Amino acid sequence: MSRSVWKSPSIHPNFLKSIVRAKAENKKKPKITLSRASTIYPAAIGLLVKIHNGNRMVFRKITEEMVGHKLGEFALTRKKYIYKKKKNPVKR
């Protein structure tokens, strides 16, 4: 279920401060966040962000298409399973 229209998009206050500070200083150092539920604002376009996926930090660059989505949507929490090739296949 989406957030009500009359409420503003949710974003962690410390993450918002770091976005504003990074844009003002024009730094290229990635911003680290554990807040996967924060909404991506237009002010964050072009920033490098490290998003925690439960195990490690994932690098992402914020683009225009990401605005309005949550940060957690771009840091997958599950690995894709790869089937291993058998060494000695059964001959029939």
pLDDT for residue 87: 76
pLDDT tens for 34-89 read 889 999 989 889 999 999 998 999 999 999 999 999 999 999 888 888 888 877 77
Domains and CATH numbers, the chain: 13-74 (3.30.860.10)
pLDDT for residue 1: 59
Cα–Cα nearest to 53, from 33, 39, 69: 33
Joined together, the tokens standing for residue 79 give 């690995």
CA 68-74-78 angle, 5° bins: 145
Joined together, the tokens standing for residue 84 give 């291993």
